[in-house]
Structure 1
Amino acid sequence: MLHPIESRPTAPVASPATPPVVSPVATARVLQHRPAPQPQPQGDDDPWHTGAACRRDEVGLFFAPSKEPTAARLSREEQAKQVCARCPVLLECREHALAQPEPYGVWGGLTAAERRVVLARRRRRDTELREAARVPARRRIAG
């Protein structure tokens, strides 16, 4: 009989055909072209991702494997959002994903589809504000 520790499943090894799964924070580090920071207390000079909760959790939660069934995807995304909900840098992560824009994964508690909606709303709001600024002041005042 195996000891409980020995019977734990091991992490899957990525094959050459399978791209490695990374967390949002790991992707942010690659995009910034700097070595991975060591965990340390968050200060004013530290990048936002040093305090991210996803640094300590299962990275597979944040990105979908290929051909993932819908029920499994929804469950995985909900688990990832629970990690994000307790993250002290949730807003910084979300803004990073919206500014890039990140096309895949859960970032800042939002899926890629949810981020597309947020970006569309921001574009619409910006367009409306520009249009409102073009209307002369006297035309905006309703009689």
Structure 2
Amino acid sequence: MCRRDEAGLFFAPSKEPTAARLSREEAAKRVCARCPVMVECREHALLQPEPYGVWGGLTAAERRVVLARRRRRDMELKKATHSIAAAG
């Protein structure tokens, strides 16, 4: 779906005012919400990681939060696994 829409909806022009950016990002997210490959697109952007634009319904800032949570979760799982192995 995003291929049919203007790329400018998903990527910010330089010096875009905050209100315009928020409005554009919300419009892009509405397109993403209807997309049959939204989850795959989001995972691509998280695995690459894509530093700009709206991908899979998430902005770059939102993707950074998701990545930080995943890293924290992975570290906690690793610690728990080591604790169980040491106790075993």
Which TM-score bucket, shorter chain as reference? over 0.9
Name stretches of at least 5 consecutive residues in structure 1 with no aligned partner.
1-52
Q: From the two aligned structures, give the one with the greater helix fraction.
A: 2
Q: TM-score, normalising length from structure 2?
A: 0.94
Residue among 76, 87, 95 paired with 2:24: 76
CA RMSD of aligned residues (A): 1.3
Residue among 105, 117, 125 paired with 2:53: 105
From the CA coordinates, give the structure whose radius of gyration is larger: 1
Same amino acid, percent of matched pairs: 82
**TM-aligned CA distance change 1:102 to 1:138, over 3 Å:** closer
Deviations 1:103-135 (A, max 9, x none): 000000000000000000000000000000111
Q: Distance in 2 between matches of 1:136 and 1:118?
A: 27
Superposed, 1:33-44 pairs within 5 Å as none
**Count, aligned residues:** 87
Q: TM-score, normalising length from structure 1?
A: 0.59
Higher RCO (CA 8 Å, separation ≥ 6 residues) = 2
**TM-aligned CA distance change 1:58 to 1:131, over 3 Å:** same
How far 1:78 sits from its partner (Å)? 0.3
| Structure 1 residue ranges, 4+ long, deviating more than 3 angstroms after superposition | 136-139
Name stretches of at least 5 consecutive residues in structure 2 with no aligned partner.
none
